[in-house]
Each structure stands twice: as C-alpha cells, then as structure tokens.
Amino acid sequence: MTRIVFMGTPDFSVPILRMLHEEGYELLAAVTQPDRPVGRKRVLTPPPVKEEALRLGLPVIQPGRLKGSAELDEILSLEPDLIVTAAFGQILPKELLEAPPLGCLNVHASLLPEYRGGAPIHQAIMDGREETGVTIMYMAEKLDAGDIISQVRVPIGGNDNTGELFGRLSEAGTRLLKETLPSVINGTNERIPQDHEKATFAGNIKREQERIDWTMPGSAVHNQIRGLSPWPVAYTELDGKTVKMWRSEKADGKSGASPGEIISTDDGVITVQAGDGTAVRILELQPSGKKRMETRGYLNGAGSHIKSGDRFI
C-alpha cells in the first residue's frame, strides 16, 4: 500500500484528507499549520486539518517554519512514497520535494498556469471570471510552477462568493485526485510542462485590496464584495465608521449621482452609485462593532438615519 504524508491546513483540504483515508492509503501523518488565536477573544484554535486528522486517529505534525526544523526531520524519517499537499500554506524545502520516490503532488485551486499563489479563488471572482478549476500538479521549487498531471473545470456563477466556490473546488479537487492517484502510483500519468509565459499570479489578499473604491465600475465593486466574502470581507466608510460589505448585486445607476453616493434605501436595500453610471445594491453588511446582518434589519434599526444623498468613502 502506498505510504502518504498529507500536508494541508484549511477546510478546503479536509475532504481530500478524508478521501485518502477512505480509499485505504497508508497515511503516515497529517502536516498542518500551528494552532492560531481566532476571534476577538483570541482563542487558540486548531486548523481544520488537525481536527480531522485527530478524528481519524492520525499523527499530526505542526511546524511553525518547515525549513531546517525538527518537524522536517520527522517527516523525512517517515520515508513516504508520496506527499500530497492541498493549501498547506508553506513552501516545501528542496530536500523534502526530492525525498518521496513518487514525488510531491499539489491540489491547486486554479487552471494553472493561471492564478499561481495563495489566493486563486478570491482573485478569479474579483476578476469577474466565469470559469476556474483545479489542477493536480507535481511540486517544484518555484511556486506552483511544476508539471501538470490533470485538471478539471468548474463554472463560476455571477453571484457566487469565495466561500461557495471554495467548497465546490474542494469537492472537485477531491474527485480529481481520487481519479488521478492510481496513474501516479503505477507510473502511467501525464506530465505536461506549464507554459510559464502564460502564468498569472494571485498573491495573498492585502489590506488595501479590501477597501472598496466606488469609482470602479459597479460590476467590479460587486466582484470585489463577493470575492472577499466570507473572508477577509470588503469594507468602506460611512460617517467615519467602517462598514463591511458581505453580499451585493449589480443594479442600474442614477444620472448625476457621484461614486459612493447612496441613491436609494427602498425595499430594505441600500443602492450605491459606482463609477461608470451603474450601481450596486447592498444586501448584507456589518456596521462597526456589530454582527453581520441583512441590510433591511440595519435600515430598520441602527441605520434608520441613512438616506439618499449620504455617501460611502
């Protein structure tokens, strides 16, 4: 039986780990990121992969930094035939990449060479793409640049957010890996070099990418809101206070209105003018210091003072 070390961290990775266990592969260990403080109370919380691995009775290894660590030596000592990674969150050192006889595979949430990097799902939605997918690839020293083994395409709906697409891509990646692994193990798989000239990049989301620029077209604002929902969440300001925007839809604008101007609060929705004459309807939001809520509830309560002509900045 093929001996595998699995490396992954978020919810995206959990169905993949579970599938490997159900298929009967010999899982030597699950390697994941350290527990992190979460929420306002900074409660130390294990990553989802750790929770699933413990449920399955697997050893867990949590290196703070893999390169040069005791945890790296521990992984190497396990002598796996194959390493499978899925959103692990760290670069694998060369000595680990070269150790398994069958190589190191990565389940990457894009159609490589597009969207190399740590936020391919966010970026595909923010760019307004109508399709993305999952790639099973051999890992290389350069980020997400290894040879492609298999791919599957996944459509993106016009109102899909990152959380929804995250789940569908995880399911698609799990199925694709299940179908691909037998050929990798028996040496009959394809190995297609990437066209590096066509590579695009999707680095981890930065704070400045979260702030809404209302001078952008309405479609771009809508894509930003859904691309950053449910994490890290797009935001704007009203009366000097931060307002997070969770869910939106595209709408028609109002002649003569300026970007960021509230042009309607009818039907329990805030409609905001964008920069190209179109607008965005805000369906869910989160005022500063409050929980996420539907816009209707906000307008009937803490936001009852908001009126047409007020402006988000």
Question: Residue 254 above 90 pLDDT?
Answer: no
The answer to whether 181 and 248 are in contact (CB under 8 A) is no
pLDDT of residue 9: 97
Provide the annotated binding site. Answer: 110-113
pLDDT of residue 186: 97
Bridge partners for 282 per DSSP: 248, 270
Provide the annotated binding site for (6S)-5,6,7,8-tetrahydrofolate. Answer: 110-113
Cα–Cα nearest to 25, from 54, 56, 60: 56
Q: What is the mean pLDDT of residues 43-50?
A: 96
Question: Residue 38 above 90 pLDDT?
Answer: no
Q: What is the mean pLDDT of residues 166-189?
A: 98
Q: How far apart are CA 254 and CA 257, in angstroms?
A: 6
Q: What pTM, to 2 d.p., does this model score?
A: 0.95
Bridge partners for 116 per DSSP: 201
The answer to whether 49 and 26 are in contact (CB under 8 A) is no
pLDDT of residue 40: 79
Give, rounded to a whole angstrom, the gap between the first and last alpha carbons of the chain: 59
